[in-house]
Amino acid sequence: MPSPKIDDFLRSVLSHVKFSFDKRAIHSELEGHLLDRIEEYLEQGYDEETAERLSVEGMGDPEEIGTELNKQHNPVIGWLWRLTHTAVVLLVAVNLFMIGIPLIDSLRVYDPAKDIPPTDIVYDLMVNEKVRLDDSVIKFTRIILKKNGELSIIYKYYDTRFWGTGWSFSGIGNISDNLGNDYWAGSGASNGGIVTRGIRTFENFDKTAEMLIISYENYNRSYRVEIPLKAGDVIE
């Protein structure tokens, strides 16, 4: 335990330091130096009281030390540092929140076709067609044809940039088949997140079509995907 002599010395030094948030650190550092010096004097054969006195005297004038420390721990600079530190912490927290929410949404199991009853399905094709537009990757994963002629295209897309949180686009492109039919009327839905999963459904699809064609062209950005279908193998 520090003696009253050491406590008095530390209290005198700290009385000249204006920035209160740094006082604890200064106290710990000075106390550590004093205790180290006392240990050295004790090893040299001095008694404890003498070792404490020599250690305190060796530190110098407490007023001069406190005045110099007050210059180093300027309140203006200290407050500026604390405010900057707080701002950085808040910024990191906001970024983690902005990134974390989409990430959590992306990790959730979301099946765009969960509301389609299996008894209504003519065929359900698993596909693996991937295209890229700018910094976004679009991957078509399933094609589902229902008995009522509705064709659903299930896909997912994500931004390849680290800070990207998913790129939203109004449609996956023009839908047609190998028979020359174009399909315009449709509906869609998607979830949010870093990896966005979506579904587009088109009505009155020709069940005899052997190829689904997805073509996209907008502002010199384009792709074309051809997906074989189960035409001729339809069981109702």
* 199 touches 112 (CB < 8 A): yes
Distance CA 136, CA 167 (A): 7
**Residue 231 CB contacts under 8 Å (≥ 6 apart), including other chains:** 207, 208, 209, 210
pLDDT at 165 over 60: no
Instruction: Write the single-letter amino acid at 176.
Output: S
What is the Cα–Cα distance from 209 to 183, expressed in whole angstroms? Answer: 12
Between these two residues, 134 and 47, which has the higher pLDDT value? 47
Cα distances (angstroms) measured from residue 14 to each of 8, 19, 74, 185: 10, 10, 13, 78
User: Quick one: average pLDDT of 174-200?
Assistant: 79
Query: What number is the average pLDDT over the span 146-173?
Result: 75
Per residue, the 3-state secondary structure of 38-103, as one string, reads HHHHHHCCCCHHHHHHHHHHHHCCHHHHHHHHHHHCCHHHHHHHHHHHHHHHHHHHHHHHHHHHHH
Tell me the two tokens of residue 115: 């509301």
Q: Is the pLDDT of residue 107 over 70?
A: no
The pair of three-digit structure tokens given for residue 89, joined into one six-digit string: 């912490």
Q: Give the integer Cα–Cα distance in Å for 230 and 236.
A: 13
pLDDT at 219 over 90: no
Comparing 51-55, 66-70, 223-227, the range with the smallest average pLDDT is 66-70
Residue 24 near residue 71, CB atoms below 8 Å: no
Distances from the Cα of 88 to the Cα of 93, 197, 230, angstroms: 9, 33, 57
DSSP secondary structure code for residue 180 in this structure: S
Higher pLDDT, 191 or 30: 30
Task: State the burial class of residue 68 (Cβ atoms within 10 Å of its Cβ: 0-12, 13-18, 19+).
Answer: middle
The pLDDT of residue 142: 92
Alpha carbon distance 31, 1 (integer Å): 11
User: Cβ-count burial of 218 within 10 angstroms (0-12 exposed, 13-18 middle, 19+ buried)?
Assistant: exposed
**How do residues 202-215 score in pLDDT, each as one tens digit?**
999 999 999 999 99
For residue 82, the model assigns a pLDDT of 58
Q: Which of 73, 105, 113 is nearest to 199 (CA)?
A: 113
Residue 12 has pLDDT above 70, yes or no: yes
Identify the architecture of domain 118-228 in CATH: Sandwich (2.60)
Domain residue extents for the chain:
4-105, 118-228
